[in-house]
Amino acid sequence: MAEPLGFRPLYRQVKAIFVRRLVDGVWAPGEGLPSEGQLAAEIGVSQGTVRKALDELAAENLVVRRQGRGTFVAEHDERRILFQFFKLVPDNGERRFPDSTVLSAETGLADAAEQAALDLTAKDRVIRVRRLRSFETVPLIVETLSLPQRLFPGLEAGPIPNNLYSLYAARYGITIAHARERLKAVALNADDAGLLGVAAGSPALQIDRLALALDGMPVERRLSLCLTEEAHYLSDLR
């Protein structure tokens, strides 16, 4: 007669405690967590329960476990971004990371698409960064990022590094946990085509990405136009 869906396993409650600590920055990226035994004693559950909670966090790439060393908060280093968040790879040759040239960085009122994606109102402001990304001087991607200004005050003023997710974490305490991408094939307009050095109307892969923080809050929208003559978007279906 009790609630049929009111059951929540102990290890998930423990996991929620840990996620909270990650969101609050109690455990910062790169830092080592206490050992399983210490955590178990502190919370008052068995080591096996702590282990199951940490295993799930590791499966979600929020922590990294290293046998013999310990459990560490995941960082957005180049390698991780390259494999988890950057799916465009050259047809021939190794997975690489493109350079970025910032074309503009400014603020403005959120448009309809930005409001919908980022849970904003017409009164909210966004920071927009437009940049060109290249593989060894060959332009490949032109993209526009939209960020809620409230979350990233002053970002548009400072230098904008290639690896933004690392900046979000270090300077604003926001960790990107995962992202949802929507892909379409489109014809380039004259502006974008010019930037990429191809004819207007050329086909390009449009990637509309929404990146979410640890707690599921939408944090960044990114609209990328990619040339796919010599590269492809890799998707593994398991």
Partner DNA sequence: GAGTGGTCTAGACCACCCA
Partner DNA sequence: GGGTGGTCTAGACCACTCC
Main-chain phi, psi angles of 10, to 5 degrees: -55, -40
Q: Round to whole Å and give the CA distance between 194 and 30.
A: 41
Pick the binder of its own copies from 61, 104, 107, 163 (CB under 8 A).
61
**For strand 203-213 and strand 88-90, is the pairing parallel, antiparallel, or unpaired?**
unpaired
Picking from 60, 56, 8, the residue whose alpha carbon sits closest to that of residue 216 is 60
Contacts with DNA, residue ranges (CB under 7 A): 4-5, 7, 9-12, 33, 35-38, 45-49, 51-52, 54-55, 65-71
> In the complex, what is the shortest distance from the CB of residue 48 to DNA, in angstroms, rounded to a whole number?
3
Residue number with CB closer to its own copies (149 or 227): 227
Q: Report the residue from 29, 208, 217, 218 that binds its own copies according to the rule CB under 8 A.
A: 208
Contact with its own copies (CB under 8 A): which of 12, 21, 65, 87?
A: 87
Q: Token pair for residue 173? A: 């305490």
Tell which positions 146-205 bind its own copies, by CB under 8 A: 177-187, 201-205
- Residue 95 interacting partner from DNA, its own copies, none (CB closer than 5 to 8 Å by kind): none
Classify the phi-psi angles of 14: left when phi > 0, otherwise alpha if psi is within -120 to 50, otherwise beta.
Answer: alpha
Cβ 206 vs Cβ 233: under 8 Å: no
Q: Which is nearer to DNA, 17 or 157 (CB)?
A: 17
Q: For residues 139 and 134, give the distance between their C-alpha atoms in angstroms, rounded to a whole number.
A: 4
Rounded CA-CA distance 93/154 in Å is 38
Q: For DNA, which is the closer residue by CB, 34 or 139?
A: 34
**Chosen from DNA, its own copies, none, partner binding at 94 (C-beta under 5 to 8 Å by type):** none
Q: Binding partner of residue 99 among DNA, its own copies, none, CB under 5 to 8 Å per kind?
A: none
Contact assessment for residue 206 and residue 223, using Cβ atoms and an 8 Å cutoff? yes
Site for its own copies, rule CB under 8 A: 60-61, 84-85, 87, 177-187, 201-206, 208, 226, 228, 232-238
